[in-house]
Structure formats: C-alpha cells, structure tokens
Structure 1
C-alpha cells in the first residue's frame, strides 16, 4: 500500500505518543507538523525529522497531505476537524471526537458531503492486549460474555500536568478524558450500547493549585463532575459497570475485566497498547457458598496473538489502510459518534435521575488479523 500522507496539527504532550514508534508502521508518512506556536513546531519537527514545520492554515492548504491528525485541545477538536474536512482532508482526532453531539453531527455531515473519512481516538483497542482479549472471547474461552467491570480512578491531573484547568472545565472531566478508553474497549467486546444509568458528583468546587517547587498557589475551579459511576446495557444483553474518578487516592479495583458463562478475563489496562490478558476458566470450587476470594484460583497469563509494539501510530496506519481500501475505518465516524453519545449519557443520567437511551448505533469493530512479532501489521 502506498503510505498515507499525514499532517499533524498540535505538537503538545501527546505528539510523542504517536511519533516515538511510528517507524513500525511504514505505511504512514508524516509529512508535516503544525501549531500556532512557531517555535514549538519547529523544535518538534527537528526532533522527529519531519520535513515540514507549518502553520495550521499552511498545513490545511498543503496538497501533499491526505489525512490530518488533530491533536489540539479538546474544545478545538470539532472546529479543527471541520476546517480539515473543508480543506478536503480526511481527519482523525484525538479523543473526545467532540464535546457535544451537535458538534459531532456537524463533523459527520461535513465529512459525508465532502466525501472524506472522519474518526476519533482512542485506538488502544487495536493494541495487542485488547486484540488478544477479543480473540480469546471470540474463540469461546470464557463462553458467552455477559458482563464487565472497568475503572480508571486516581487523584487528578493537577499534580503532574502543566495545563490542568481545561481538564476541570465543561466538556472535560474524567468521563470525557479517561472514559473513552473504557467505552471503546467495551464496544469492541460487546458491540453497541442500548442505555446508560449513572451517578455523577464532584467532591469540591475548587482544588489547591500545586506549584512546580512544592506547595500551592491559588485554586483550580472545578466545573465538571470528578467522580462518575454507572451501568451500561448493551444491545447484546450484556451489562458493564464503569467507575471513573479524580477523587480517589488509592484502590484495589481492576482496570478491565470481562465475565462470561464459562470463565473470566482480566484484560490489560485499556489505556495501554500492550500487556497480556489473564484467563481463568470456571472451577468447581467457585460453586460453593464460600466463593474463591478475589484473585484466587487458577489464573493463567495468555500468549499474545498480535504484535505488541503498535503504540498510537496504529490508529493512523489503520485509518490510512481504510482510506486506501475504501472501507470504513474501525475508528470511523459512526463508532466515534456512538462512543461520544455513551460518554455524555453518564452525566445526563445523573442529572435526569433515569436511564438514558442511546439513539445511535454502530458496527462492532472488526478484529485485527493476528500477526507474529516480526510480521507486518495487517488491517484487512
């Protein structure tokens, strides 16, 4: 396949997660980087050997670029994606796809009219850990999957992130920031969602603002829920429990587990591309009144069925393959819109005090073909 020619808008913290291992995807050609910060884009282009350092307008006008990777802050995802589409480019955005369904629908409508593809990260469900888990389930190792549990909980981002205020603003918070990793992986396992029921809260209206030298200076205003828990009902009949929080110091919760009629899988962290799932088939002792304690029994780490060096560049490679083949990307618009609707439904459910029915649907993403450690990635 002729490499897909990519231009990246936004050279902040997440750029390295796409480019550090981009060499394992020879079908991706990073043509240009762009940012409103001229000094930053020049330095990053030199760091990664990217031949063009441009302004965003110059990148969008560049005829060599086919696919725009949108790494701008979340509130700019929709505006920049719409600009890319208007310039005739395909666009893959960092998560979330948009901060509202209205914005997301505008992106879908514009892409359809322009005849281009639009989609969104996260793409961790394309990594070896998630794809091996998917294959184990599809091959029947835990019987029929009927339930799952997923969590991402910590004490918040202000202790390490250099620009934390946007994370505590409307259109952000833990559900839209870390929730996408859980929801995309859940839809990869169970397919589309039918409804959501949830509770959302924030533990305080402000938080102390840490300084780089220790101590605190001022306050961060909290404008979004910081602890959200809920249940998801899938069209397949499965049910999942999800907890995301920036109000927790420490915990013993699993990141991601899938439960079936014949066993369970402890899947790797959905925020990561690697890691091996751990499998446990049902055992006779599980049928007694005194159940096997959490973590007990014969859990076995499984062999990976896919290469484990994908990193975030796999999203660009898969998207580019879909463009060349004329098929819907696994991270395409319908999937991205559905995931966003589910994410937004958690806070809506809490405010309304009822289940929120999900109006959209999508195809369960196609599994990736298995490849060995030294075989090229395949996306057919």
Structure 2
C-alpha cells in the first residue's frame, strides 16, 4: 500500500524531496502546509498538492506520514503533534534540539505503535553502504582510530534566511553533525563517551546570500568551532572537527584506520562518492559509486556533481511500515546520534568527558537490490536493464 505523505515546512529543502518522490514506489505526496500560507500554496501549485493549514494536515485522512521539514527548533513540536494525530513521522535532522524532546518523540511513537524516521538517509546510499561492507567483512579490520571533518565558512553566503543556524539548536555540530555522527554510528556502532572543546569564531555574521535578508547582521549564540574525540563502545577513537570558521582546507570528510587497512569514506552529506582503501603504505585503491543508481550525480540540477536522493529513507520507512518491520533510519538511531551531539556541546561547555547513556543497533545494511526494490516500476525496470 502506498503511504500518503503530508509535508510540513515548505522551505528550501522541500524541493528535493518533492522532486525525488516520483522515483519511489511506496510514497505519494498529497498535501503540504507551512506557517507561511503563500509558501504552501507555491509548493502545492508546483507539485499538484493540496495546500492545507497545519491543523488540517494533521487531521487529514489523506495523510499517513508527516514529513517534518521545519527549522530545528520546531522539529519536536511538529513531530509530537503528528504522532498525537496518529501519523507516522519522518523528519529532517536533527531529531530534536534537546534530549528531553528527542526522548518524548521516540517514546510517544513507541507507545502509539507508530514509526519515527529521521534524516540523514545518506547512510543508505552506495557510498556509505560500500564502506559498511568493507568494515563488516573484515577488509578494514578492527577500527582503531579516525578523523571526521566538517569545515566551511558558514551558511550566510548561500542560505536566504540563515539566522537559525547561529542560534540554539544550530551550529555545525547539530546542523552537519547528524551526517557525520550518523555515518560513524552506522559504520562503527554506538558511541560510549565524548570529550570536546569549543569556541565562537566570528561573534557576528552578515547575510550575503541573495534574498530579502541581504545585509542582515546575526549575533552568533552557539559555538562555531568544535573539536571532539568520540570513543565508541567497540573501542574505536575518532576525532571530529566541526567548524564554520574555515576559509579553505585540505581535510577529507572521514578517514578510518583499521588493523588491516585504512579507509577514506566519501562525503556523508551525499549518497555516492569515491571510496579509497589502502592495504599497505604505497597506494590507495579507489572505488567509484557513480555507476550505481543511487550513486549517480544529480545535484546541482544544472551541473550535477553529487548524488542527492533525499527521500530514500522516507521510501524505506514507508516500505517498513507496510511490511511490519523497523525502518533503518529509525528513532533509536536518531536519538543516539542526538545524544552524542548534545554531549559534545555539553563536554565543551563544562570541560569534562561526558558518558553516553543511550545505545542503538546499527541500521541494517541495505544492498543495491533492496534499494532498487524501492523504486517505482518504471525506474526499477530501467535500472535492471542498465545493471
């Protein structure tokens, strides 16, 4: 049975979900809502949806799953309202901005027999899944150490309304951290403890992105440079560098070092990418995922460079609901990731090591065949012919 999707939050990120929806067999968008009625009406016109008020969408019998694409500080309120209305929820990252709200979401869903899913679903792409197989089959061996880096100059130069990135609930850890921490937990299992240091780089940011907020000055309220060491329950120690105060750098997104090999993991912000493996000290062996369906460059739309199939996790959750199993990018995984990120910020503020109380199962591996089975019939047939 196709799961009918009601979209809440019609901002920038909603377009890629709506564009990609036609790829998948088990989802169909029926309605959208936004606090700005004109934004909902614009998306409704573009994609043939019904523009509703928020309360109308929560109550609609034509909505099975609420897709929550609001700003982070509204994630919990929207998710809980949807769950209280009997809807499953899939949301953009992070799950919430506080541990209490994250726990309420997961516990409410469990008590009502509903599912919670959360971005980033990039962990389901062939980039991370190929790395996962290299870890699982012993190619890399026991992972001893690693480095993950999130570095840029910030958001104000491209996002038309970036103020929320620099307020509580934002910052590089909670905004970009879900991609990196989520990927690391998928590869290595749950985190046991973290130690971190942090600071604010620029105390004020000026919006230069085209739009109505050009020239706006934003007071920075959260750390914009954070260094952390994550100790995993399995023993691996990974250094996470997260900063929006960097002009340019030469660091790779994720590099892991095992007893048998070193592994360069592609950018977890996307679904594909180039994987490199070194079994000796001489050379890297490269694996390119661009020939696989969910590894094909699709973004930016005018000159594709990266594989962007956001919506894969939503489609996988819809399939899980239909088949009575737990979604891969599920609430327990998202909650553990959230606790790790909040613990990083707490560790930096309080200058102490913070133990992680929650745990989670690693999301089940997703094979190419399983991923392709989520495609609409025409797309699946096309993929089989090209395989």
TM-score normalized with structure 2 length: 0.88
> Which residue number corresponds to residue 152 of structure 2?
154
Deviation of the 1:230 alpha carbon: 0.7
> Which residue number corresponds to residue 363 of structure 1?
361
Query: 1:129 & 1:82 partners in 2: Cα distance?
Result: 33
Classify the secondary structure of the residue corresponding to 1:362: coil
CA contact (8 A) 2:65 2:88 kept: yes
> Which residue number corresponds to residue 58 of structure 1?
56
Q: Deviations over 1:208-253 (max 9, x none)?
A: 343749x974521010000011110111111111111110000011
Deviation of the 1:149 alpha carbon: 1.5
CA contact (8 A) 1:129 1:304 kept: no
Unaligned runs of 5+ in 2: 297-307, 376-387
Unaligned runs of 5+ in 1: 287-291
Change (3 A) 1:302 1:264: farther
> Which residue number corresponds to residue 25 of structure 2?
26
> Which residue number corresponds to residue 243 of structure 1?
241
> Which residue number corresponds to residue 76 of structure 2?
78
Q: Deviations over 1:72-119 (max 9, x none)?
A: 111100001010011000111111111100111121222122221123
Query: 1:219 & 1:149 partners in 2: Cα distance?
Result: 33
Displaced runs of 4 or more, over 3 A: 208-213, 215-218, 302-307
Q: Which of 105, 111, 114 is the matching residue for 2:109?
A: 111
Matched, 1:270 2:268: yes
Q: Which moved more, 1:60-69 or 1:20-29?
A: 20-29
> Which residue number corresponds to residue 37 of structure 2?
38
Q: Which of 127, 133, 136 is the matching residue for 2:134?
A: 136
> Which residue number corresponds to residue 10 of structure 2?
11
Deviation of the 1:147 alpha carbon: 2.4
Q: Deviations over 1:47-91 (max 9, x none)?
A: 1233x2211111111112111110011110000101001100011
Number of corresponding residues: 362
> Which residue number corresponds to residue 277 of structure 2?
279
Q: Which of 299, 309, 332 is the matching residue for 2:285?
A: 299
Classify the secondary structure of the residue corresponding to 2:62: coil
Query: 1:211 & 1:48 partners in 2: Cα distance?
Result: 26
Matched, 1:376 2:373: yes
CA contact (8 A) 2:13 2:69 kept: yes
> Which residue number corresponds to residue 301 of structure 2?
none
Query: 2:2 & 2:21 partners in 1: Cα distance?
Result: 12
> Which residue number corresponds to residue 289 of structure 1?
none
Change (3 A) 1:90 1:172: same
Change (3 A) 1:112 1:4: same
CA contact (8 A) 2:10 2:69 kept: yes
CA contact (8 A) 2:132 2:187 kept: yes
Q: Which of 153, 169, 172 is the matching residue for 1:171?
A: 169
Query: 1:25 & 1:80 partners in 2: Cα distance?
Result: 25
Query: 1:219 & 1:4 partners in 2: Cα distance?
Result: 42
> Which residue number corresponds to residue 382 of structure 2?
none
Classify the secondary structure of the residue corresponding to 2:7: strand
CA contact (8 A) 2:276 2:284 kept: no
> Which residue number corresponds to residue 202 of structure 1?
200
CA contact (8 A) 1:128 1:305 kept: no
Deviation of the 1:129 alpha carbon: 0.9
Query: 2:4 & 2:370 partners in 1: Cα distance?
Result: 26
CA contact (8 A) 2:162 2:207 kept: no
CA contact (8 A) 2:273 2:288 kept: no
CA contact (8 A) 2:271 2:309 kept: yes
Classify the secondary structure of the residue corresponding to 1:183: helix
Query: 1:366 & 1:43 partners in 2: Cα distance?
Result: 37
Q: Deviations over 1:243-287 (max 9, x none)?
A: 111100000110112221111221111100121312221x2xx3x
CA contact (8 A) 2:319 2:374 kept: no
> Which residue number corresponds to residue 340 of structure 2?
342
